[in-house]
Amino acid sequence: MMRDNIEKLYQALGFQRWLAKTHDTESISKARHDKNAAKRIVRKPTAPIEPNVIDANYTSWLNEHPSALASFKGMMSLAKGKRIVVFLDYDGTLSPIVNDPDSAFMSDPMRSAVREVARHFPTAIISGRSRGKVYEFVKLDEVYYAGSHGMDIMGPPRLLKSKYQTKALDEKGNEFTVFQPAQEFLPAIGKMLNELEEETKSIEGVMIEDNRFCISVHYRQVQDEEYGMLEEKVQSVLTRYPRFHLTRGKMVLEIRPSIKWNKGNALEYLLDTLGYAKNTEDVLPVYIGDDRTDEDAFKVLKGRGQGYPIIVSSTPRDTMASYSLYDPSEVLSFLIRLARWGGMSSQ
């Protein structure tokens, strides 16, 4: 049954040719360089690019950031005897990038794969979305959640050591610890939301998203000629709030509190609360993400000298990741293999 669901997902993603083959490395490599690859690129190029040029650049980039699927056996051979901890971004990693952010639904096969991974390894989802919204998409109680780029973390229960920590219970009565280092910014964020909605209401296609501790201004459906006006209006509002700053993601402007906290800090916090201190040598974190904000987490893993930072990208790009996956369908394949490996290694 699960195999049938997975095949339906691949068909939806345009991998019909892939389905005729098995999960071997050669088939995956061929799927990456399919003639339709250029059509799957989310970012619009400023000028037409020939598919063979894209393939050549991507192939060269893969030499520096090899496929985590093709490298899986080697990666897991180094993981023996270590305690794996899995961190996942959401949009563009567990779900495809879509025009309507409210429709970035997670597929049933992906949900099943994440659930299976969480059965064997501590697993957390770190997203720019609000923690509540990510939970609504994922609907799994087996994982930990960090929303607002790590500024709203639901972690394991522990002794409270910070004024930003509180104890809470989930719907099943299980205790967990909430960590929110940007609480003082909530009133200002509420005011800014109202101002942004008022200032941008004349621009068709813009979507203002309340992500609790940050604000996302989505412009994927805004006309190119109106983008300049949109950014001006956002910057105009931002000038009235000097304790906030602007960052950029995939077709989104994000306003965040100017505190020293990001996805990398969230990763370290969760590792610490899970009992894997910085000097713990037998821990092996795996972080999979597709966004610029995930680079903060990749940087942390590089600094620790341990773990596997994996970028999800269909185009060559600067990154601190060591490995790559092409798109969410390859993330699904990787998670299925990781769960299977976890099951066998625990026997």
Judge whether residue 26 has pLDDT over 60: no
pLDDT tier for residue 250 given thresholds of 50, 70 and 90: confident
Residue 179, classed as helix, strand or coil, is strand
pLDDT tier for residue 19 given thresholds of 50, 70 and 90: very low
User: Mean per-residue pLDDT for 35-54?
Assistant: 42
Q: pLDDT value at position 23? A: 41
Burial (0-12, 13-18, 19+ Cβ within 10 Å), 78: exposed
Structural domains of the chain sorted by starting position, each given as residue range(s) with its CATH number in brackets: 1-45+52-347 (3.40.50.1000)
pLDDT, tens digit (0-9, with 9 covering 90-100), for 209-221: 999 999 999 999 9
Tell me the CB-side half-sphere exposure of residue 282, using CA atoms within 13 A: 5
User: Shortest CA distance to 69 belongs to which of 31, 118, 29, 34?
Assistant: 29
Whole-angstrom distance, CA of residue 166 vs CA of residue 116: 29
Percent pLDDT > 70 in the chain is 83
pLDDT, tens digit (0-9, with 9 covering 90-100), for 84-128: 999 999 999 999 999 899 999 999 999 999 999 999 999 999 999
pLDDT, tens digit (0-9, with 9 covering 90-100), for 299-335: 999 999 999 999 999 999 999 999 999 999 999 999 9
pLDDT tier for residue 29 given thresholds of 50, 70 and 90: very low
Averaged pLDDT score across all residues of the chain: 86
User: Shortest CA distance to 150 belongs to which of 179, 186, 123?
Assistant: 179
User: Mean per-residue pLDDT for 254-260?
Assistant: 96
Whole-angstrom distance, CA of residue 43 vs CA of residue 51: 14
pLDDT tier for residue 52 given thresholds of 50, 70 and 90: low
What is the bridge-based pairing of β-strands 308-312 and 283-289?
parallel
pLDDT, tens digit (0-9, with 9 covering 90-100), for 127-149: 999 999 999 999 999 999 999 99
Other Cβ atoms less than 10 A from the Cβ of 334: the count is 23
Judge whether residue 275 has pLDDT over 70: yes
Q: State the amino acid at position 178 in one-letter form.
A: V
User: Shortest CA distance to 131 belongs to which of 118, 120, 143?
Assistant: 143
Judge whether residue 168 has pLDDT over 80: yes
pLDDT, tens digit (0-9, with 9 covering 90-100), for 277-295: 776 789 999 999 999 999 9
Q: pLDDT value at position 160? A: 81
